[in-house]
Chain A
Amino acid sequence: QSVLTQTPSASGTPGQRVTISCSGSSSNTGRNYGYWYQQLPGTAPKLLIYKNNQRPSGVPDRFSGSKSGTSVSLAISGLRSEDEADYYCAAWDDNLSAWVFGGGTRLTVL
């Protein structure tokens, strides 16, 4: 059971906008920044969004992050087939004094 909660799966058609949510608590996403990672099949994770809504250089602006209360969200607009991957949220948890991840959301592009 992950500390951060993500829906296990999501899907969309090419060109569509999809949103992936990550629910936490006051000890993690409510108080600290949220981060998003993309893991393509058979590869290592890659940083997509840091500090809730910041994009590293090289990440397309189709990817955006937001925070509301104790939840963080990742939005992908103009969905492409290459976006098919697992997406993980992460945050520092003050109670556990540890980094925690969501269980991951598998995005399927139909």
Chain B
Amino acid sequence: QEQLVQSGAEVKKPGASVKVSCKASGYTFTNYYMHWVRQAPGQGLEWMGVINPTGGSTRSAQKFQGRFIMTGDTSTSTVYMEMSSLTSEDTAMYFCARGHCDGDCYFWAAWYFDLWGPGTLVTVSS
């Protein structure tokens, strides 16, 4: 069945970097994009960015630009997100979510989230 499997929980110190993986299975990896969405404890959802794993093009939210990188590996159907200069405010559950398009797929707006990974808890603490 279609699923996304994410890497395990991470504990990092302030100022460190973290890399989280998201491995897809059960569908044609190159037909979809991949988003990253995070959720701080007790808070709502926050979109971070999206990657086209085939071409490598990305679009990220302005607040994360400069310290947030997304990469993809089509040979293993895996996408990665790496975030640097972590602070306590980055403590959150990080979800990957498949981007699906069934219309005019030229625009980022067309790629909505249709399948979610279970999440990876990243804790930033000294």
Binding site for B on A (CB under 8 A): 2, 32-33, 35, 37, 43-47, 50-51, 56, 88, 90, 92, 94, 96-104
Contact A101 B114 (CB under 8 A): no
B117 to chain A, nearest CB (A): 6
Most buried by B among A44, A47, A90, A104: A44
Task: Note all chain A residues with C-beta closer than 8 A to B97.
Answer: 45
Most buried by B among A44, A96, A99, A101: A99
Contact A44 B114 (CB under 8 A): no
Given A50-B114, A88-B44, 7 other A-B contacts at CB below 8 A?
Answer: A45-B45, A45-B95, A47-B115, A92-B109, A99-B35, A99-B50, A101-B47
| Interface CB pairs A-B, < 8 A, 21 | A33-B109, A35-B113, A44-B118, A44-B119, A45-B37, A45-B113, A47-B112, A50-B114, A51-B112, A90-B45, A92-B109, A94-B109, A96-B61, A97-B108, A98-B62, A99-B47, A99-B113, A101-B44, A101-B47, A103-B44, A104-B45
Binding site for A on B (CB under 8 A): 35, 37, 44-47, 50, 59, 61-62, 95, 97, 107-109, 112-119
Give 7 nearest A-B pairs by CB, closest first: A92-B109, A99-B47, A44-B116, A101-B45, A104-B44, A98-B61, A103-B44
Contact B46 A101 (CB under 8 A): yes
Contact B119 A35 (CB under 8 A): no
Interface of B is mostly: strand
Contact A2 B112 (CB under 8 A): no
Bound state CA distance, A33 and B114, in angstroms? 14
Chain B residue at smallest Cβ distance from A32: B109
Given contacts A35-B112, A88-B45, A92-B108, contact A97 B59 (CB under 8 A): yes
Contact B44 A102 (CB under 8 A): yes
Task: Note all chain B residues with C-beta closer than 8 A to A33.
Answer: 109, 112
Bound state CA distance, A35 and B45, in angstroms? 13
Task: Note all chain A residues with C-beta closer than 8 A to B119.
Answer: 44
Bound state CA distance, A32 and B103, in angstroms? 13
Task: Note all chain A residues with C-beta closer than 8 A to B115.
Answer: 47
Given contacts A44-B95, A96-B62, A97-B108, contact A56 B44 (CB under 8 A): no
Task: Note all chain A residues with C-beta closer than 8 A to B44.
Answer: 2, 88, 101-104
